[in-house]
Structure 1
Amino acid sequence: MASTADSATSRVAEPSLAARMSRLPSATPTQRRWLVLLGALMLFDQADLNAFAYAAPAVRAQWDLSVGDIGILTSASFFGMFVGSTAGGWLADRYGRKWTIIGATFWYSAFSLACAFAVGMVDLTIYRVLTGAGLQAMVAVLLAYVAEMFPRHLRGRIQALTLAVGLAGIPLMAWFSRFVIPTGPSAWRWIFVLGAGGVVIGIVSIWKLPESVRWQEANGRGASAAPIVEKLEREALSLFGALPEPEEEGPIVKARTSELFGRAYIRRTLVAAVMLTFLAVGFYGFNSWLPTLLVDHGLSASQSLTYTSILSLAAVPGALFAWLFIDRWERRRMLWIIESIVAVLMLVFGFTNSAVVLVASGLLITLLLQTGTAFVFTYLPEIFPTRLRGTGTGFVNGIGRIAGFGSGFLIAGVYAGLGYAAVFIVTAGAMALMGMTVGVFGERTTNRSLEQIATTTDPTEDVQARKAAGRTDEAVSPA
């Protein structure tokens, strides 16, 4: 009888797979290989996401489109992103992270290729909607995957590095456009062919990318995930020697989507949705419209592409810049500071008459926008528990994409009615409000386990409760 009791106690005391993964002191060789694949997936996502911005001046010239028409085409992608983000998160929570990522990659690659064969505005709009759905489904789930498959003290830096690799897709697409588009009136079609290249990485991922350990454990498939964790532990032991004892991170239970709007998570859901709404207007109002605005402001199409290609070079350093402090200082506060600086720089960009100031401010805007993106990509999956991570991240990203959909019409209307400088007043205001929203109302996440963050409803209450209890590393469950 005692033997049976001891056996039961042993089973209860056995640490979870999530706790065993979190104790790893650094990324193992296997995790680094995952990182290469994730970065490559993100690279083609970012290349395709920015494809139409660089093609727009040539498409407009060949098809004799208005600024309003370009606004519709730009907004089409964001409508698709709303659908993809919401559907992708739902699928990932129910059927797994891996196959949602791969399926979404195949989906957007197919419709990006279809864009290359578009014969008019109507079918190109439809293809961009469908491409956008795949793009956002992939990236929303990839963020959750990174948060779940790497140690907590590395989450920010891993997200920043993944983004940095991915952002190389922006200068890749920009310089490809710069040299290809001037070769002929229909040469813009090759941009979308390049954007479809993500299918190659998707095929490799079928064999090389495992399913999320946390997702498998949460869905009763721990036995399938155990060999992955055991392999990581063997690699870590050979590299670092003895491993620290696992710190249990709490039980994982089945999710109800309605929890996003319940007492525990309604604040997080609303704050994240508002934050991403402002971000969509400011970020995409600047990046998606810049080539077209510069042409209308007096530059030739070739000059506009050269200028935006130069600015694109700051994207990768921007994400790498975040590496220096993303896991050191509180993410919500840093986002407030970063986006406030971006807002000021956008005003400088919109009102300067100096070419030097225009280039300098544009480079700094691009750099800091991507620094902020690294923080956002890390922060969003952290604020939802494992059982809701895909759904929650997908839902709030979807709200942001609906804002992006509206921003296409907003920017077109502001430019037509109030002119070039007014566009940058709008984008600057949006970035300032985005930073303030997360800085004042966001969650404290830096250097906390996902389970600690998940079981705390208010960061101020959390700090006060832990101080009162004399603890520095435990979260307080909501009352």
Structure 2
Amino acid sequence: MYHSNALNRLDRLPIGRFHKLTLLAVSFAYFFEFADINSFATTAPKLIDLWGITVDQVAYVTSLSFVGMFIGSIAGGTVADRWGRKRALLLTTFFFAFFSFASVFSWDLVSLGVFRVLTSAGLSAMTVVAVVYVNEMYPAAVRGKYQAYAIVIGICGTPVTNLIASLVVPLSDWSWRLVYLWGSLGILLVLFTRHLKESPRWLASRGDHAGADAVLREIEAQVAAEKGPLPEPAPPVEEVPVAKAPLRLLLQKKYLYPTLLLTVLWVTQTIGFFGYSSWAPTLLAKEGFSVEKSVFYVALTTVGAPLGSYLASLVTDRFERKWSIAVFGTVIAVCGLLYGLTFNPVFIIVFGFLVNFFERGYTALAYAYSPELFDTAGRSLGTSVSYGLGRLSNAAGPLIVAALYNSSGYRSVFYFIAGTWMVGAVALALFGPRTRQARIAATQRQAAAVEAPAP
């Protein structure tokens, strides 16, 4: 039986220009995903003054956005399985960019809420596709590092957007709309189309070994022209072709356990992260800080985000990922609690910086860890369902935050968020599978294949 040997042929490639261009394209998509994901949070304080909306209404729009994220996650995984990783990455990016552009022309909270729900669906779908795409296109020994590198570049979209918002939102009664126009620029991913290749591992999983071989030969030719002759790949391992991954596939034991674990990981990460990022500007404004200062303080704290992703790139392939994620989650809980217990602007910025620093490191690690728990047949579906359920959980998160704030005050919100982070860290420490040994084994198999004498 003909076999493209996609996994081992990709694993033995040295990092070349092809990998760097792929990284740049994925990072570009991530940049505008992170740029757009908090757009509503940065404009909400202005809309409270301009449209007279309440904290509860902000909570409802935010909650519905997470319903959109859940739908988008499932849709993204389905599209990636059916039409391919490359096409899905382009389609989902175009989708969120289009509805971010539509948000520019919203005329009331209802219209803005509808556009934000659709934008959020596209953002979440794109994230699922990008995580799977990077996992399948890079050698096992360095895929965690390059997943983190993509986040390092992409996460810069958050502080850049927050700084832009801090400058343009206060200018006039209409200038808040420019924040959404900025988010729509993700559509420029089309400029990278010819540099992106379809995942040979996806093609092989569909039984299209000829198609996978054609893409692999093209990639190999590019890398060999730059790096010289390539080593022989390790022998192929047979995989049963899967034309379509039905939802019931996740009920199988080997998929159910990681799906449940990752659901806990993404539920706690989603509630914990968006508890800070979506609510910090609004709650600071409600506690007496001006709109300008609240948005500016939060913008300064997000400068830590790319640095945290870079830290993840240094540790992700060196240590066991589950332990790194658990440690990062614990530190986030402590720093986040201290953030909520102070009203000193300096401490708000310092602890907020640390929260963003470790949270984005946590996310980069989790993006690398999640798809590793599945094989090719279940990777897109398992990742999309667990990630989507995490996003869906935060449909309740903003309502809980608003209820806590209205009944018990500002600090109770941060007790709740810190506790959420600790639940995720403990669950992963106790039940998370280890993946480092499998990566080492893959590297050793490739090294043995290179050293083996030619027949």
Deviation at 1:252, TM superposition (A): 4.0
Structure 1 284/451 Cα, relative in aligned 2: closer, same or farther at 3 Å? farther
Where does residue 34 of structure 2 map in the other structure? Answer: 46
Cα distance, 1:327–1:240 mapped onto 2, change above 3 Å: farther
User: Structure 2 matches for 1:277-316, cutoff 5 A?
Assistant: 277-316=267-306
Matched, 1:338 2:328: yes
Q: 1:447 to 1:169 in 2, by over 3 A?
A: farther
SS in 1 for 2:142: helix
Is the contact made by 1:149 and 1:212 (CA closer than 8 Å) also made in structure 2?
A: yes
**2:160 pairs with 1:167:** no
Unaligned runs of 5+ in 1: 1-10, 453-472, 474-479
1:219 aligns with 2:206: yes
Q: Give deviations 1:122-175, integer Å, cap 9, x for gaps.
A: 111111111111111111011000000000011110100001111011011111
- For 1:89, which of 43, 54, 77 is the aligned residue? 77
Unaligned 5+ segments in structure 2 are 443-447, 449-455
Cα distance in 2, alignment partners of residues 288 and 247 from structure 1: 49
Counterparts in 2 of 1:287 and 1:195: CA distance versus 1, 3 Å: same
TM-score (norm: length of structure 2): 0.93
SS at match of 2:105: coil
- Which contiguous aligned blocks of 4+ residues in structure 1 show a shift greater than 6 angstroms? none
Given that 2:152 and 2:307 are in contact with CA atoms closer than 8 Å, whether structure 1 keeps it comes out as yes
Q: What does residue 422 of structure 1 align with?
A: 412
State the SS of the aligned residue for 1:152.
coil
Contact 1:109 1:197 in 2 (8 A): yes
CA displacement at 1:447 relative to structure 2: 5.5
Deviation at 1:253, TM superposition (A): 3.0
> 5 Å matches for 1:250-329?
250-254=238-242, 255-329=245-319
Asked if the contact 1:332–1:439 (Cα under 8 Å) also holds between the matched residues in 2, the reply is yes
- Which deviations, in whole Å up to 9, do the C-alpha atoms of 1:427-474 show, x marking residues without a partner? 10000111111221112122625998xxxxxxxxxxxxxxxxxxxx9x
Distance 1:236 1:435 in 2: 40
CA contact (8 A) 1:385 1:450 kept: no
Q: Which amino acid aligns with 1:226?
A: D
- d(CA) in 2 for partners of 1:170, 1:164: 11
1:16 aligns with 2:9: no
* Partner SS, residue 438 of structure 2: coil
Contact 1:249-1:449 within 8 A present in 2 as well:
no
Q: Alignment length, in residue pairs?
A: 440
Q: Matched residues, percent identical?
A: 31
Q: 2:350 aligns with which of 341, 360, 364?
A: 360
- What is the rounded CA distance, in whole Å, between the counterparts of 1:170 and 1:272 in structure 2? 25
Match of 1:102 among 86, 90, 93: 90
> Which of 399, 408, 432 in structure 1 is aligned with 2:398?
408
Contact conserved, 1:81 with 1:398, CA < 8 A, in 2? yes
Letter of the aligned partner of 1:442 in structure 2? G
Once the two structures are TM-superposed, the CA of residue 274 in structure 1 deviates from its matched residue by 1.5
Displacement, 1:236?
4.2
Q: 2:216 matched to 1:229? A: yes
Q: What is the CA–CA distance in structure 2 between the aligned matches of 1:158 and 1:274, rounded to whole Å?
A: 25
Check whether the contact 1:54–1:291 (CA below 8 A) recurs between aligned residues: yes
2:120 aligns with one of 124, 132, 155? 132
How far apart are the structure 1 equivalents of 2:401 and 2:440? 38
Please name the residue that 2:22 is paired with: 34
Name which of structure 1's ranges 352-361 and 135-144 shifts more when overlaid on structure 2.
Answer: 352-361
User: What one-letter code is carried by the residue in structure 2 that aligns with 1:195?
Assistant: G
**Are the structure 2 counterparts of residues 298 and 348 from structure 1 closer, same or farther at C-alpha, using a change threshold of 3 Å?**
same
Q: TM-score under structure 1 normalisation? A: 0.88
CA contact (8 A) 1:152 1:449 kept: yes
Q: Match for 2:217: what amino acid?
A: E
Q: Secondary structure of the equivalent of 1:428?
A: helix
Q: Retained in 1: the 8 A contact 2:273–2:359? A: yes
Superposed CA offset, 1:276-314 (max 9, x none): 111111111011110001101110000011101111111
Q: RMSD of the TM alignment (CA)? A: 1.9
Give the secondary structure class of the aligned counterpart of 1:405: coil
Structure 1 residues 87, 251: closer, same or farther in 2, change over 3 A? same
Matches for 1:187-202 after TM superposition, within 5 Å: 187-201=175-189
SS of the equivalent of 1:392 reads helix
Instruction: State the 1:90 CA deviation.
Output: 1.3
Say if 1:92 and 1:391, in contact at 8 Å, map to a contact too: no
Name the CA distance, whole Å, in 2 between partners of 1:371 and 1:247: 35
The Cα shift of 1:332 comes to 0.6
Q: How far, CA to CA, are the matches of 2:238 and 2:361 in structure 1?
A: 32
**2:103 partner letter:** C
The CA deviation string for residues 184-230 of structure 1, in whole angstroms up to 9 with x for no partner, is: 022111110111101111x2243321111100111122222323322
Q: Secondary structure at the match of 2:26?
A: helix
Q: Is the 8 A contact 1:110 1:196 kept in 2?
A: yes
Q: How far does residue 247 in structure 1 lie from its aligned partner after superposition?
A: 4.6
Contact 2:96-2:119 at 8 Å conserved across structures: yes
The equivalent residue for 1:204 is 191
Q: What secondary structure, in the 3-state scheme, does the structure 2 residue paired with 1:233 have?
A: helix
Within 2, Cα distance between the matches of 1:129 and 1:352? 33
Match of 2:359 in 1: 369
Does the aligned pair in 1 maintain the 2:60–2:399 contact within 8 Å?
Answer: yes
- Matching residue of 2:453: none
Code of the residue aligned with 2:164 in structure 1: it is F
